[in-house]
Amino acid sequence: MSAALPPIRHGGDLLAAVRRYGRPAVDWLDLSTGINPNGYPVPALPAQLWQRLPQDDDGLAELAAQACAAPHALPVAGSQAAIRTLPGLLRPGRVGIAALGYSEYAPAFAAAGHTVEALDETDFARAELAEALDHLVVVNPNNPTGRVLPAPMLLRWHAKLAARGGTLLVDEAFIDCLPGNSVAAHSDAAGLVVLRSIGKFYGLAGIRCGFVLAQPALLDALRARLGHWTVSGPAREVARHALADHAWQDATRARLQACGARLAALLERHGLPPVMHPLFCWVPHHEAARLHHMLAQQGVWTRYFDAAGGCPPSLRLGLPPDQPHAWQRLDTALAAATA
């Protein structure tokens, strides 16, 4: 375990690339996020959705619970709303959080009075990990390393934590491509909280809608903290369409698997063996900073990570849009960057 809190950084910061490199936004291939570039086709929305307050009893919570195979769900304004609020509902204690992972968790728990233990990637292979902690945050699959933990291991950790009044928080923002590893079905148990998002797999990050899966008492407490109308009416409508469209989900799951494998093969061909997730590839490399800069000079924006969690510096590349010229542009840029 290491001790430093990670800084808050995110992909999708294309304007920062525009300012730094002087290239207009329209001339970038932005691969800095793990968001599906060919997302759910948003239907035309009824005009009254823009004129009335959101309806919290519109069936979205029930539909989300069904889609996630969970007993209960609470719609929230993206996972971020829950991440900032949930730590204040848990008994202060020692919370384990990956040093190389989504950077919002550590400051949120620290601000709520918890002691944050930054975990190395190797810590997540230890069966006894939960024994030294009061709470544990697991992003599964992890962003950016692509680490996937099997549900039985997570449930064993949960049992140990819950027996001491602790909590296992599992962020499943990237689980839709690998649903067999989800623990959502068990989220009715005390001490287990699961976060889901429709921003990544569905490519709907802009509508800011996610779901918290947990016991009703915790969901009620979270609802009281967040207040009314946390998810806009248009966002709720779009989310309902996406969650109910099983044909689109099945086709997209298969397509993303193929695209992820294609991206991994492309990187491998240029001497950059990655860890593959269907929505992104993670490339640990001692020259990651130089590669990031070289790709940016050619208008390809990637996400750079400093060395952390026992891992070397690295790049994360999201999927290019499903267009031949986008893939060719990435191929050309990689050839130049690795020459």
The 3-state secondary structure of 235-262, one letter per residue: HHHHHHHHHHCHHHHHHHHHHHHHHHHH
pLDDT at 3 (0 to 100):
47
Q: Which residues contact 183 (CB under 8 A, 6 or more apart)?
A: 151, 154, 155, 158, 170, 172, 192, 194
Separation between Cα atoms, residue 223 and residue 66, nearest integer Å: 20
Cα-Cα end-to-end distance for the chain: 37
CA distance 33 to 163: 37
Asked if residue 159 lies in contact with residue 189, where contact means CB atoms within 8 angstroms, the answer is no
Q: In the numeric block, which tokens belong to residue 145?
A: 């390393």
How confident is the model at residue 236, as a pLDDT?
Answer: 97
pLDDT value, residue 13: 81
Burial class (CB in 10 A: 0-12, 13-18, 19+), 31: buried
Q: Hey, what domains does the chain have and what are their CATH numbers?
A: 14-39+247-337 (3.90.1150.10), 54-245 (3.40.640.10)
Angle, vertex CA 81, rays to CA 90 and CA 94, nearest 5: 30
The predicted model scores a pTM of 0.94
Q: Are 131 and 160 in contact (CB under 8 A)?
A: yes
pLDDT at 1: 45
Separation between Cα atoms, residue 78 and residue 93, nearest integer Å: 25
Q: How far apart are CA 32 and CA 295, in angstroms?
A: 12
Q: Which residues pair with 305 in a beta bridge?
A: 314
- Give the span between the Cα atoms of 232 and 76, in whole angstroms: 10
pLDDT for the residue 257: 97
Cβ atoms of residues 147 and 125 within 8 Å: no
Q: What count of other Cβ atoms lies within 10 Å of the Cβ of residue 251?
A: 11
Task: Please report, for residues 50, 196, 202, 230, 238, the alpha-carbon distance to residue 45 in angstroms, rounded to integers and kept in the order given.
Answer: 9, 24, 18, 19, 8
Per-residue pLDDT tens, the chain, 339 aa: give them. 444 554 566 666 899 999 999 999 999 999 999 999 999 999 999 999 999 999 989 999 999 999 999 999 999 999 889 999 999 999 999 999 999 999 999 999 999 999 999 999 999 999 999 999 999 999 999 999 999 999 999 999 999 999 999 999 999 999 999 999 999 999 999 999 999 999 999 999 999 999 999 999 999 999 999 999 999 999 999 999 999 999 999 999 999 999 999 999 999 999 999 999 999 999 999 999 999 999 999 999 999 999 999 999 999 999 999 888 999 999 999 999 998
State CA 107 to chain mean position distance: 17
Which token pair is 58?
A: 């519109």
